[in-house]
Amino acid sequence: MKKKVVLITGASSGIGKQTALDLLAAGYTVYGGARRVNAMSEITAAGGHALSLDVTVDASMQAAVTHVLEIEGRIDVLVNNAGYGLYGAVEDISMEVARKQVDTNIFGLARMTQLVLPGMREQGSGRIINISSIGGTVHTPMGAWYHGTKFFVEGFTSTMRLEVEDRGIYMVLVAPGIIDTGFGDVLGEEITRNSGNGPYADLVAKMINAAQNPSPSLKGSHPKVISDAIRRGIEDAKPRTIYRAGKFGYLLPLMRRILPHRAFDWMMKTAIR
């Protein structure tokens, strides 16, 4: 039986790279896509393929999908993992910077989905795994643009199920909790650049302290817990609509559903004091 062909975006680091390596070890044919091709040397060394892929450039996305189809004849699984978190006060962030966040986290994911759907529809099978976050259910200070994109991913994926599941294509959400990918350091640089010297500087200082000096109980899970969830989304005969995994991956969304809005807001503010 021919190996399933998997295309993973954002495969140069973190969850994307871990997923590529784990799926290769499990016997899948894996294509990793990212702007930093050199950062995917571990994937090629493990028998995978590295593609130059920028999900904000349409020609790059078309070329990547076309390349895989020309070589393999099919794409069985798309893992829409590429994305990043834009943090800073809405008042401080320019529309140019905000559009880059939307282009990457929303339009890149949507366009990659469009590009693989015709082949999946023709073969009568396929899985599209969209990487969301607990940030698609809960909210934190200074993350309005990031959370907005992840809320979109959840709504987009749920709506797509109604369009394509009857055609044998499963839309699956994977929502990581807190994962140890160095996000705290990145957040510190990002939030300082955007809002560190403005009217929200006091809140920025608290956010940086909370992100870079977490208590042991807040240490993130290893990316492999998300790779394992992605694999379940690929291999389960009838996958769940959403797989949650990682530190607080279940607890925080549950609390968000149970608590009144202002009670949850108070809890978030207290966590960064």
CATH number at residue 63: 3.40.50.720
- Number of domains the chain is built from: 1
Asked if residue 195 belongs to a domain, the reply is: no
Average pLDDT for 87-102: 95
Query: Whole-angstrom Cα distance, residue 169 to residue 31?
Result: 20
Cα-based distances in Å from 210 to 21, 93, 139: 31, 21, 15
Q: Give pLDDT tens digits for 59-75.
A: 999 999 999 999 999 99
Asked if residue 57 belongs to a domain, the reply is: yes
- Give the pLDDT confidence score for residue 214 in this predicted structure: 63
Q: Are 221 and 247 in contact (CB under 8 A)?
A: yes
Cα-based distances in Å from 145 to 88, 111, 268: 9, 19, 17
- pLDDT band at residue 33 under the 50/70/90 scheme: very high
CA atoms within 13 A on the CB side of 235: 11
Q: What is the DSSP code (8-state) at residue 217?
A: G
Q: Give pLDDT tens digits for 124-164.
A: 999 999 999 998 989 888 999 999 999 999 999 999 999 99
- 262 pLDDT exceeds 60? yes
Asked if residue 23 belongs to a domain, the reply is: yes
Whole-prediction pTM? 0.92
Asked if residue 263 belongs to a domain, the reply is: yes
Asked if residue 155 belongs to a domain, the reply is: yes
Asked if residue 209 belongs to a domain, the reply is: no
Asked if residue 69 belongs to a domain, the reply is: yes
Average pLDDT for 68-88: 96
Which residues does the annotation mark as catalytic?
A: 12, 132, 146, 150
Identify the domain containing residue 129 by its residue range: 5-184+221-268
- pLDDT band at residue 23 under the 50/70/90 scheme: very high
Asked if residue 194 belongs to a domain, the reply is: no
- Give the pLDDT confidence score for residue 163 in this predicted structure: 97
- Give the pLDDT confidence score for residue 270 in this predicted structure: 83
